[in-house]
């Protein structure tokens, strides 16, 4: 149970409001096949790659933390969409009898019954780890017989990965080392020779940092640049400003507020209303914010229209069903299969080599109602589908036996 104690000690430091002990990830002095060490580096550090090409390990901009990145609406929307889409999928276990897939009773540690945490929280933490760090690490708590009894998602920032003498991965958590029997590693996209997956936030650091700066610029404009949308120009002399104040107050009384929108304005005594157009700098700022949203969506493989960006037409399909199908195939399926494979390997360590885990994407990948009914009709007419089988696909109760067959 030492791994569980280490995980909770690290959590206790954070909950107590203290700083987490400074940890240097093991393996930062061991370079991979590309010359990278995989650690954190100062701006300007880098290495020469084949072909006399310099690769920088950092940039002049500050590192963007998870908290800073999640303050950007596009990043938060992408993380929420992907994590919640995966976290709400049913998790089931199956075995195969030849070509037939048969349901298999889930082990207790995959049932997520109290006092264990919920399935949604567990899968959400895994997805958020993958979407921010590019890696998810799960502490596998086992009993004295080696049977898993609980799964706890670790903070990827406190886990180091090195290569052991036999080529296997060794995981270091708060100074203690564990192997794959105690820590389940789910990496995202990995470069050859690397031991950790590529962090999406690190890969998109410059885009996210640029979007953050544009957001800060907009806040600074609203806070510090008091430019009114229009001015009233009075041609005659008004030494004490009383006339100008009277005209402004009358205009505000007649046209101020939403209830007075659209009223016809009348100016007397030669007064003239002049609107102030948006400056080219402000126009470019708005364009950069729009571009930043699509760039962040591109990094996460999310259709922009699913994070409320309707500025451009979508090429993900013409109908809602086609768009959901493309999102499930190209965005969700790679993540779900990584999670499935890792947990299937965990079942193998439990002595269940013929059992596999499945996150059911069928609900998200379903066609429209009319298309499903049309396909059922073809299947029933062709004889390879019964009415009760079609009803089961729609979560409907079976018909009596005499009515459920042709």
> Are 299 and 390 in a shared domain?
no
Among 2, 60, 109, smallest CA distance to 357 is for 109
pLDDT recorded at residue 28: 37
pLDDT recorded at residue 33: 33
Which residue among 275, 309, 330 closes a domain?
Answer: 275
Q: Is residue 284 a part of any domain in this protein?
A: no
> Are 255 and 344 in a shared domain?
no
pLDDT band at residue 371 using 50, 70 and 90 as cut-offs = confident
Which residue among 355, 378, 397 closes a domain?
Answer: 355
3-class secondary structure, 200: helix
Going by C-beta distance under 8 Å and a sequence separation of 6 or more, which residues neighbour residue 306?
81, 323, 327
What is the rounded radius of gyration, in angstroms, for the C-alpha atoms of the chain? 29
Phi, psi of 263 (to 5 degrees): -70, 145
What average pLDDT does the structure give for the chain? 76
Proportion of the chain above pLDDT 90, given as a percent: 33
Give pLDDT tens digits for 140-151: 999 998 899 999
Give pLDDT tens digits for 19-59: 444 434 333 333 333 333 444 344 444 555 554 444 444 44
> Are 372 and 351 in a shared domain?
no
> Are 319 and 179 in a shared domain?
yes
Mean pLDDT of 385-399: 83
151: left (phi over 0), alpha (psi -120 to 50) or beta: beta
Only one residue has tokens 């029997």, namely 181
Give pLDDT tens digits for 65-115: 777 788 888 889 999 999 999 999 999 999 988 877 888 999 999 999 988
Q: Is residue 54 a part of any domain in this protein?
A: no
State the first-to-last Cα distance of the chain, in angstroms, to the nearest integer. Answer: 58
pLDDT at 393 exceeding the cut of 70: yes
> Are 236 and 372 in a shared domain?
no
pLDDT band at residue 333 using 50, 70 and 90 as cut-offs = very high
The continuous run of DSSP H or E covering 157 comes out as none
pLDDT recorded at residue 388: 87
> Are 98 and 170 in a shared domain?
yes
Cβ(188)–Cβ(259) under 8 Å?
no
> Are 7 and 108 in a shared domain?
yes
Cβ(131)–Cβ(75) under 8 Å?
no
> Are 330 and 208 in a shared domain?
yes
Only one residue has tokens 């998790």, namely 91
Would the pTM count as exceeding 0.85? no
If one counts the domains in the chain, the total is 3
Q: Is residue 282 a part of any domain in this protein?
A: no
276: left (phi over 0), alpha (psi -120 to 50) or beta: beta
Going by C-beta distance under 8 Å and a sequence separation of 6 or more, which residues neighbour residue 230?
273, 274, 275, 276
Q: Is residue 219 a part of any domain in this protein?
A: no
The continuous run of DSSP H or E covering 187 comes out as strand 183-187
pLDDT recorded at residue 289: 60
pLDDT at 296 exceeding the cut of 60: yes
HSE, CB side, 13 Å, CA atoms: give it for residue 362.
10
Q: Is residue 57 a part of any domain in this protein?
A: no
Among 300, 301, 15, smallest CA distance to 155 is for 15
Which 8-state DSSP code applies to residue 331? I
> What is d(CA 233, CA 235) in angstroms, rounded to the nearest whole number?
6
Q: Which domain holds residue 75?
A: 2-24+63-212+291-355
Which residue among 332, 355, 378 closes a domain?
Answer: 355
pLDDT recorded at residue 69: 82
Q: Is residue 346 a part of any domain in this protein?
A: yes
> Are 313 and 351 in a shared domain?
yes
pLDDT at 63 exceeding the cut of 70: no
Among 131-140, 203-212, 321-330, top mean pLDDT goes to 131-140
pLDDT at 185 exceeding the cut of 70: yes
> Are 261 and 376 in a shared domain?
no
pLDDT recorded at residue 13: 42
Q: Is residue 280 a part of any domain in this protein?
A: no
Going by C-beta distance under 8 Å and a sequence separation of 6 or more, which residues neighbour residue 178?
3, 170, 171, 172
The continuous run of DSSP H or E covering 177 comes out as strand 176-178
pLDDT at 202 exceeding the cut of 80: yes
pLDDT band at residue 18 using 50, 70 and 90 as cut-offs = very low
> Are 119 and 155 in a shared domain?
yes
> Are 297 and 347 in a shared domain?
yes
Q: Is residue 221 a part of any domain in this protein?
A: no
């Amino acid at each position: 149970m030492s791994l569980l104690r280490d995980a909770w000690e690290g959590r206790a430091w954070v909950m107590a409001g203290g700083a987490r002990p400074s940890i240097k990830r093991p393996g930062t002095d061991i370079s991979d096949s590309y010359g990278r060490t995989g650690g954190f580096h100062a701006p300007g550090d880098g290495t020469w790659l084949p072909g006399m090409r310099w690769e920088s390990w950092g940039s002049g901009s500050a590192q963007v933390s998870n908290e800073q990145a999640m303050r950007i609406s596009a990043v938060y929307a992408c993380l929420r969409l992907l994590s919640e889409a995966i976290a709400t999928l049913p998790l089931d276990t199956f075995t195969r009898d030849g070509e037939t897939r048969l349901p298999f009773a889930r082990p207790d540690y995959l049932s997520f019954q109290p006092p264990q945490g919920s399935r949604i929280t567990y899968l959400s933490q895994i997805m958020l780890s993958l979407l921010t760090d590019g890696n998810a690490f799960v502490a596998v708590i086992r009993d004295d017989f080696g049977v898993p009894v609980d799964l706890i998602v670790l903070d990827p920032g406190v886990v180091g990965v090195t290569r052991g003498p036999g080529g296997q991965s060794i995981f270091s958590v708060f100074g203690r080392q564990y192997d794959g029997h105690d820590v389940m590693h789910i990496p995202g996209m990995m470069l050859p020779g690397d031991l950790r997956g590529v962090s999406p936030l690190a890969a998109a650091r410059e885009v996210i940092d640029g979007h953050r700066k544009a957001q800060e610029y907009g806040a600074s404009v609203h806070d510090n640049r008091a430019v009114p949308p229009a001015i009233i120009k009075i041609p005659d002399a008004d030494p004490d400003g009383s006339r100008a104040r009277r005209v402004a107050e009358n205009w505000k009384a007649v046209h101020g507020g939403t209830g007075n929108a659209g009223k016809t304005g009348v100016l007397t005594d030669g007064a003239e209303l002049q609107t102030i157009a948006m400056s080219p700098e402000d126009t470019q700022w708005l364009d950069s914010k729009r571009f930043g949203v699509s760039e962040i969506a591109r990094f996460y493989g999310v259709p922009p229209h699913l994070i409320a960006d309707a500025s451009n037409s979508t090429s993900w399909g013409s109908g809602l069903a086609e768009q959901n199908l493309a999102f499930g195939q190209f965005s969700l399926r790679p993540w779900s299969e990584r999670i499935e494979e890792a947990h299937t390997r965990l079942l193998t360590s439990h002595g269940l080599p013929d059992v596999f885990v499945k996150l059911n994407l069928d609900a998200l990948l379903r066609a429209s109602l009319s298309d499903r009914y049309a396909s059922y009709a073809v299947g029933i007419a062709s004889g390879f589908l019964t009415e009760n089988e079609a009803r089961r696909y729609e979560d409907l109760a079976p018909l009596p036996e005499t009515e459920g067959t042709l």
